[in-house]
Structure 1
Amino acid sequence: MAAMSRPTAGPEDLRARVAKLSLAQKIRLLTGEDFWSLPAEPDIGLRRIVVSDGPVGVRGEMWDETDPSACLPSPTAVAAAWDEDLAHRLGRLLAAEARRKSVDVLLAPVVNLHRTPYGGRHFECFSEDPLLSGKLAAALIRGVQSGGVAATVKHFVGNDQETDRDRTDNRIDEQTLREVYLAPFETVVTEAEPWAVMAAYNGVNGHTMTESPLLKEVLKDEWGFSGVVMSDWMACRSVAPSARAALDISMPGPKSPWNAGLLAAVESGEVSEQDIDEKVYRILVLAARVGALDGATPPAPPEPAGAEAVAGLLREAAVAGSVLTRNNGLLPLDPSRLRKVAMIGPLAEHGRVLGGGSATVFPRYRVGPLDGLRAALEGTEIVHAPGVRAHTRVPAADGLPLLVRFFGADGAEVGREERTGGRFMWLGRFAEGLLEDAVNEVEVTTRWRAGTTGDHTIGFSGLGRYVLEVDGRVLLDDHVEEPPHMDPAVAAMLPPQRSATVPLTAGQEIGIRLWHKVGTGPTFGTAFELTLEPPVRSDDAEIARAVEVARSAEVVLLFVGTTPESEVEGVDRTSLALPGRQDELIARVTEANPDTVLVVNAGAPVLLPTASAAAAVLIVWFPGQEYGNALADMLLGVRSPGGRMPTSWPRSGDHVPSAHPTGGVLEYREGRSFGYRAADADPLFAFGAGLSYSTWSLELVRAGHTPQIRVTNTGARRDQQIVQAYLNGRLAGWAAVTLDPGASGSVEIPLPLRAFQEWVDGGWRVAAGPFSLRVGTSSADLGEPVEITPPSV
């Protein structure tokens, strides 16, 4: 059953409300009131509608740690669980979080595909496969909307890279567009009835997506989408062309082309008032669905979950999505036999629980690997060594008591707040009741005591005018200009840095002041960081210590992965290699102690040329705030890692699709042949692959349109297997089965009609048979092919 989608205020009532409005009132409703909301209209009983970023949590209207959020595993981790029920339960949690924060519309999920491993926003998308992406997104959407909160499917369509995303035309042949890139959107629209869709920045085949005929001809007319289509933030860059193309909402506001020129375009006849009425009607449908319209009642919100229940679900999800790709028998570890464990690597202490960009949330807490293992192994000595420095940017000054003061144009203080995080982002307003236009300057001050003797790096990250002082002495006085063609997200979240070196002795206390002139920074909002880093030892010294620690331990847990600057919205990667000297660290540590578990903490594929020397390899993606506890569960055998690869991990960065346009055009030359479907696919870790702590045998009992597979647990512990069915090399379905040791069971995998169809000459048709059916446990581990005939239609 799709989530409830009919408003309790009927169509006639909604049309009557539209008719009550003047043209100016109607046009006002089509652009955001501010960065995160749509305007109210008391004349028709419409209240303000609040939107918020997702998909790993609901941030709300403020971008800081003062209003914390539950932090879920990243979509790649959710997809790796191959579990629609789990996705639905996570959607229910998102709905509860949204209702708690008075959010009506969640800007998630992302169903763009992992076309290329270089994609910088890879972690925020589910999979390289349209079926897996569409089914899991549909389940999550049903969960979100069952709680009376709208889900927004994005980014329609072809936003599969970040480089020049706002000015690139992606050229995709029609068959590939239909069978691959539109496919997950079609699945969620027809199976989950989402209440909103977001039009992407990029163009496809000559049309910017906010002006694309696909919005009306395919999304609304062909698929029957009844919700609203909103632009990505600042993606609407025209008046009449975008208004005629079935875009309903231009975000954000109040500045937008529509606010400036749509009234005149209607009055001149360029845009019909009937088109405006249809847009307003769809907004009222949305308002009725989320309870923002008088006389309409949304579905009941989920019961508020207690902290323990939320933690339990997030811990379960992190385990379910972690993929064990290699194990020589070392895992699971027996805690009763462990006397000394080495935890090594730049991500061993805290790790990364989420990616960067608009998916950012601020969890109330996060359990890092070191804390999680220490809690689970109380009687075991645990020795930590960072090994190498993976990040290249000076980190934000987090964990300090910071006083932020806001000053008006006359120099008078107009507000203040106490903060503990050195990252600052204000969009539309600085605090409750303190609008952006009321603030002229921002000052951040703190006192900090050095823990070690040596050269400390202190600075800032941001665009515009800044002054940095230490103990009243000016260290930096600079106006940082925005580089040409910088993505707006990068300008706000990964801008240039400036820093100075300050020699300090252990115990020395200093006062730090950072001043910023508002309005001189990014094109939208105010965003900057106060940065601070104590003295760091050289990589050579740290690697030598890591080797020494590894030799002295019974088991090594080695943590590697990406950095905030290598996986973030707005920037595609230029290399798939692990940042810094992490590959060298893997080689040196595994040579010193072969009993090494390599834990890969990355949201997207990375190259692992030295990983084969490790006894076990566990991919945890970005696992959310319960990371450390979930990791301990898996390593110690409390739970088995449940994940299977949602995307292929290549052996090298060669022969994969490019994320970089040429002359404003990105050609999808590979067509449908990318990832596991590429003709020359030879992955390091195959799509669908993943081990458990048991062993299995599979037998195809019956072929046909609903194949039946007999599965036997040949191992020594109760565990789960995910059986996959492929038609002509394309995933057509899957089923999970959990069995006791020695037990057998059967699963059936219904093959959908679409799996037998192809897009030819402007329509779907059943392809000529016969079809090759293969079943197995990954795209690279399949049984012998069996021919089946296509269904008769």
Structure 2
Amino acid sequence: MEEVDFRTLLGELTLEEKISLLSGRDFVSTPGVSRVGIPPLKTVDSINGIRPTDFHGQLSTACFPNTVCLASTWNADLLGRLGQQIAQQAKFKHAQVVLGPTINIHRDPRGGRNFECLSEDPLLSGHLGAAIVNGIQSQGVGACPKHFVCNDSETFRHYYNVDASPDGRPLREIYLAAWQQLIKKSNPVAVMAAYNKVNGTYCSENGDLIEKILRKEWGFDGAVMSDWFGTRSTVPSIEAGLDLEMPFPFFRAAKLVKAVKDGELSEKTIDARVEKVLQMRNRTRPSHGEGPETSEITEESNAIARELASEGIVLLKNSDKTLPFNISDSPKIAVIGEYAQRPILTGGGSASCEPQYRQIPHELLRKAHPNPDNVQYASGVRTRVIVPVAEPSILTTKNGEQGVDVSYFNDDSAEPLLTEVLKEATIFMLGKYKPGLKIPGSHLVMSTKLVPKTTGTHLLAVRHSGAFALKVDDVEVLSAPTPDITTEQFLFRPIKYETRIEIAMEAGKAYQMHLTMQSRELTIGEPTPYGATLCFEEQYSEEDAIAEAVEIASKADISLIYAGRNQQHESEGFDMDSITLPDNQTALIKAVTAASKKTVVLLHCGNPIDVSSFENSVDAIINMHFPGQEGPGAVIDILTGKLNPSGRLPTTWFKTLEDWPSFGHFPSEKKENGDVEIKYAEGLAVGYRASDQEGQIRWPFGYGLSYTSFSYEDLQVKVDKSSSPATLSTSIRVTNTGSVSGKEVIQVYVSPSQNTQVWRPKRELKGFAKTSLEPGESRVVDVEMDLDTACSYWDEAEKAWKLDAGEYKVEAGSCSAAFIV
């Protein structure tokens, strides 16, 4: 049977049916029109792990490393194979479109969502992003890169304006350039518009960006969808080229029907938008279908997850060849830090997921060691931001079960609408509420008996969407009004609605908890949060925790400190205030280093960390990123020399926050008139492109250590103007001059012509390749690039790319600070 081109069904649709296709039907799906055989479409996050439909659902998935780790591989072929596995995981969730990869730029190290973006460099971002897109779409699943464009900060991300002309050099050469490279090397099914404004106009209704640049100039023929609740208008967004409003028809549906019938829009314009969403269905045909979501562990996904972590982990420091250590010599190893027992595999927000399994670093080391008792563990200091949910094991319902009793009341009735027993002391509703529950106009009661394990001054807390009161043994101990939070903060930043108190309690004694919480007023334009969580943490001494770590470190040959950040530090929805480690982690590292013969710090992070306080005192530093479900094992392989690290930084690590070119202009700020603005005052000087900052850089863009060494020689450069487009080709001989096999990343940079009359960065990445070499082996590595991409810049006066005459310098090497010419 011949497959139908869904676009040919356009003429059979009523105006209302056409318009129904231009908005979502629920939080993840768009409707179909069953009358004529048009199927719905389902979207899923993310390339780091395909999430279930329920945002807080516990269904697991193959958990891949975070996107910065992916970029640190500098391996486009590997990322293409990742895309294929992402598509397979999406099919397990019966989804047709994967929302990713994220192509925004690492402009500032406080960016909360940087961990799920690729790089500070547009070429690296675009080429690696395209590889992922091509891999996903090779399996009949669509990819939707995001967020177009300049969504490089989370603070006020729905509102801030980036004051930059679409024809200005920074926008063209950095922020749009990443997208231009991606569109040049791939053809995604869709692109997601950013929340923010550019030059005073929201991206979702910015015709200069969508129609003029993305579609007409670059030739993109896919659909453009809004970010969730990112549509800002009815008519302007349609006219600007925004095809799909997600997740609900807030500005469309009846409003759009009326606009057409009132003559504000022509039906021909509607048809153009509908054609794009019908084409999405054509291009995702192999993945159509609905069904129950599943999670399947496959050897292929596990192997890719391991390979990605192995090639993405970056060795930052290795004094006196501290690493690798020979585990067969039975060294005494001190393993320190909560993350060695509970590894951090993802960042927070829509790029987080529930892994299919968790490898425990401490246990992996014991398993690999010939004498497991020589591996000692201490948890060290606590790393959390929020108070954890009270453990079910210390909670008892009125019927003697583990957990809490919950009753829901509408305020106009004394009888409960519903009662239930929950094992976890947490309630989370967003848009979908208990049947019959009035929002606003209702409240809940949560009750349980809590029995502490120890005597002390413990932390008791409540996270609440509405006004609440908490009684302990009939005495009110804690209360707060409805918190001033957005739906986004409810999803991503629970510290904003947590209220806590210290309370003296005795071990083994049962304390009756009685929590009452009111519903809140309706949120306009977004789902209204309805949630309550009872949180509890027993007293502990940081001094004792550090002393325990020092005790095992003093007896060890080498100490491994698992440190860094978790999902509560780096997440969608907010930016960080600082890039230093929390004070208690720094104190732990210093104390252990003073007692240990050798100290290795292993960092979980998506953003750079200011390591000034401990860099000089430790022997080695590894950037583990958020390495996915196979990451902990890959780290052990690197520590013990089973694997040679080959990750390279996709972003410059400056020494301190103040050294970043964006410092002083991040994040966005509210002006006196209420407008929100973020200034890209550094212009083109993003990351390594900044001039005269070598002394402020700790580890340069492209940097990463190896257990072997490589030499470069005989760089050859050739320009072919007869090809279309004209090309710049380079070749260079690379030799493994060390004693172990390893992978090297060859990076090619171009310096501008001396005839150029405008400021240009000293050098810019224009090509790269990764190769594997055995000891003593040599290989000629070829890197080819478009001449225009390699040498031109954006001429603001001519509003076009310009290639100046003159001599350009081509350099190749192992990072942005080491070359042969």
Superposition TM-score, scaled by structure 1 size: 0.89
User: What are the superposed Cα offsets for residues 113-152 of structure 1, whole Å, 9 maximum, x if unpaired?
Assistant: 1011121111010101111111111111112122222211
CA pair 450-166 structure 1, distance change in 2 beyond 3 A:
same
Conservation of the 8 A alpha-carbon contact between 1:405 and 1:413:
no
Name the residue aligned to 1:291. Answer: 285
Contact 1:406–1:440, Cα closer than 8 Å, also in 2: no
For 1:565 and 1:571, the matched residues in 2 are separated by 10
Q: Indicate the residue corresponding to 1:564 in structure 2.
A: 567
- 2:781 counterpart of 1:747: yes
Residue 14 of structure 1: aligned partner: 7
Q: Which moved more, 1:517-526 or 1:52-61?
A: 517-526
Q: Quick check: 528-537 or 282-291, which moved more?
A: 528-537
Given candidates 283, 288, 310, the residue that maps to 2:301 is: 310
The alpha-carbon distance between structure 1 residues 531 and 124, as it changes in their structure 2 partners (threshold 3 A), is farther
Give the deviation of 1:533 after TM superposition. 4.0
Whichever residue aligns with residue 637 of structure 2, its letter is: D
Contact 1:35 1:428 in 2 (8 A): no
Matched, 1:634 2:638: yes
Corresponding position: 1:66 with 2:58: yes
Give secondary structure in 1 for the equivalent of 2:376.
strand
**How does 1:99-248 map onto structure 2 within 5 Å?**
99-173=91-165, 174-213=168-207, 214-248=209-243
Q: Percent identity?
A: 34
The CA distance in 1 between the partners of 2:426 and 2:638, in whole Å, is: 33
Structure 2 CA distance for aligned equivalents of residues 125 and 661 of structure 1 = 19
| 1:384 corresponds to | 377
Equivalence for 1:279: 273
Following superposition of structure 1 onto structure 2, how do residues 681-720 of structure 1 map, counting pairs within 5 Å? 681-682=693-694, 683-704=697-718, 705-720=728-743
Structure 2 partner of 1:498 = 499
AA matched with 1:240: V
Structure 1 residue 232 displacement after superposition? 0.9
Structure 1 pair 22/689, CA: closer, same or farther in 2 (3 Å)?
Answer: same
d(CA) in 1 for partners of 2:385 and 2:272? 50
- The verdict on how the C-alpha distance between 1:397 and 1:182 changes in structure 2, with shifts beyond 3 A counting, is farther
Instruction: Tell me, in whole angstroms, the C-alpha distance in 1 between the residues paired with 2:41 and 2:500.
Output: 41
SS in 1 for 2:678: strand
In structure 2, the residue corresponding to 1:671 is in which secondary structure?
coil
Alpha-carbon distance between aligned partners in 2 of 1:97 and 1:571, rounded to the nearest angstrom: 28
* Structure 1 position 378, deviation (Å): 6.0
Assess, with a 3 A threshold, how the Cα gap between structure 1 residues 713 and 56 changes in structure 2: closer, same or farther. same
Instruction: Give the Cα separation in 2 of the matches to 1:75 and 1:366.
Output: 19
Moved more, 43-52 or 450-459: 450-459
Question: Which residue type is aligned with residue 707 of structure 1?
Answer: T
Aligned match of 2:465 in 463, 472, 495? 463
1:546 aligns with: 549
- Asked if residue 653 in structure 1 is aligned to residue 665 in structure 2, the reply is no
| Distance in 1 of aligned mates of 2:799 and 2:438 | 50
What are the Cα deviations for residues 384-415 of structure 1, in whole angstroms up to 9, with x where unaligned?
23333343421234676656868574766669
| Structure 1 position 758 matched with structure 2 position 793 | yes
Distance 1:596 1:190, change over 3 A: same
| Aligned residue pairs, count | 764
Shift of 1:722: 0.9
User: Quick check: 1:493–1:527 contact (8 Å CA) kept in 2?
Assistant: no
Q: Retained in 2: the 8 A contact 1:59–1:361?
A: yes
SS of alignment partner, residue 711 of structure 1: strand
Q: Which amino acid aligns with 1:496?
A: Y
Say which is worse superposed, 527-536 or 652-661, in terms of deviation. 527-536
Cα–Cα, structure 1 residues 440 and 186, in superposed 2: closer, same or farther, change >3 Å?
A: farther
Using the TM superposition, name which of 437-446 and 317-326 deviates more.
Answer: 437-446
Query: Is the Cα contact below 8 Å between 2:330 and 2:370 reproduced in 1?
Result: no
Contact 1:463/1:479 (<8 A) preserved: no
CA drift of 1:157 comes to 0.4
1:35 maps to what in 2? 27
Q: CA deviation at 1:194?
A: 0.5
Do the aligned partners of 1:54 and 1:358 also contact (CA within 8 Å) in 2? yes
| Structure 1 residue 595 displacement after superposition | 0.7
What letter is aligned with 2:634?
A: A
For 2:767, which of 730, 733, 737 is the aligned residue?
Answer: 733
User: Alpha-carbon deviation of 1:45?
Assistant: 1.1
User: What value does the CA root-mean-square deviation take over the aligned residues?
Assistant: 3.0
What CA deviation, in whole Å up to 9, does each residue of 1:496-519 have, x standing for no partner?
A: 211344544445566666555455
Q: How far 1:735 sits from its partner (Å)?
A: 1.4
Q: 1:721 aligns with which of 744, 751, 759?
A: 744
Evaluate the alpha carbon distance shift between residue 503 and residue 621 of structure 1 in structure 2; reply closer, same or farther with a 3 A threshold. Answer: same
- One-letter amino acid matched to 2:553: A
Paired residues of 2:194 and 2:227 also in contact (CA < 8 A): yes
* Distance (Å, rounded) in 2 between the aligned partners of 1:391 and 1:774: 45
Q: Which runs of 5+ in 2 are unaligned?
A: 394-401, 719-727, 752-762
CA distance in 1, matches of 2:550, 2:456: 25
Shift of 1:86: 1.8
Contact 2:741 / 2:775 at 8 angstroms: preserved in 1? yes
**Correspondence for 2:398:** none
Judge conservation of contact 1:325–1:617 (CA < 8 Å) in 2: yes
- Partners of 1:711 and 1:419 lie apart in 2 by 59
* Partner in structure 2 of residue 671 of structure 1: 683
| Alpha-carbon distance between aligned partners in 2 of 1:187 and 1:721, rounded to the nearest angstrom | 24
Q: Which moved more, 1:196-205 or 1:392-401?
A: 392-401
- Following superposition, the deviation at residue 40 of structure 1 comes to 2.4
Partner residue in 2 for 1:372 = 364
Deviations 1:6-38 (A, max 9, x none): x9533xx614x2222222222222121122111
Is the alpha carbon distance of 1:510 and 1:148 closer, same or farther for their aligned partners in structure 2, counting shifts above 3 Å? Answer: farther
**Change over 3 Å in CA distance of 1:646–1:462 after alignment to 2:** farther
- Alpha-carbon spacing, 1:132–1:444, altered in 2? closer, same or farther (3 Å): farther
Shift of 1:189: 2.1
Any idea what SS the aligned residue of 1:460 has?
strand
Does the aligned pair in 2 maintain the 1:368–1:627 contact within 8 Å?
no
Map 1:274-423; keep pairs closer than 5 Å. Answer: 274-291=268-285, 306-328=297-319, 329-377=321-369, 379-380=371-372, 381-397=374-390, 402=403, 407=408, 409=410
User: Which shifted more, 524-533 or 90-99?
Assistant: 524-533
Q: Does 1:524 align with 2:519?
A: no
- How far the C-alpha of 1:771 sits from its partner, in A, is 1.0
Of the structure 1 ranges 43-52 and 605-614, higher mean CA displacement relative to structure 2 is found in 43-52
Distance in 2 (alpha carbons) for counterparts of 1:470 and 1:419: 20
Residues 556-591 of structure 1, C-alpha deviation per residue, up to 9 Å, x if partnerless? Answer: 001221243431212112211112332333233222
Q: Structure 2 counterpart of 1:698, which letter? A: Y
CA deviation vs aligned residue, 1:744-777 (integer Å, no higher than 9, x gap)? 2221111322112222222223233311111110
Query: 1:319 is aligned with what amino acid?
Result: S
Q: Is the counterpart of residue 480 in structure 1 residue 482 in structure 2?
A: yes
Render the CA deviation track for 1:81-113: whole Å, top value 9, x for unaligned. Answer: 111122122212211111111122211110001
Instruction: Summarize the Cα distance change of 1:175–1:385 in structure 2 as closer, same or farther, 3 Å threshold.
Output: same
Q: Is residue 95–residue 288 contact of structure 2 (8 Å, CA) maintained in 1?
A: no
Q: Is the 8 A contact 1:151 1:195 kept in 2?
A: yes
SS at match of 1:182: helix
The one-letter code matched in structure 1 to 2:333 is V
Instruction: Give the match's secondary structure for 1:537.
Output: coil
- Runs of 5+ unmatched residues, structure 1: 1-6, 786-793
Q: What is the SS of the residue equivalent to 1:549?
A: helix
Return 262-271 or 207-216, whichever deviates more: 262-271
Give the superposition deviation at 1:429: 2.9
- Pair 772,442 (structure 1): closer, same or farther in 2 beyond 3 Å: farther
Structure 2 counterpart of 1:391, one-letter code = R
| Gap change, CA 1:769 and 1:307, over 3 Å in 2 | same
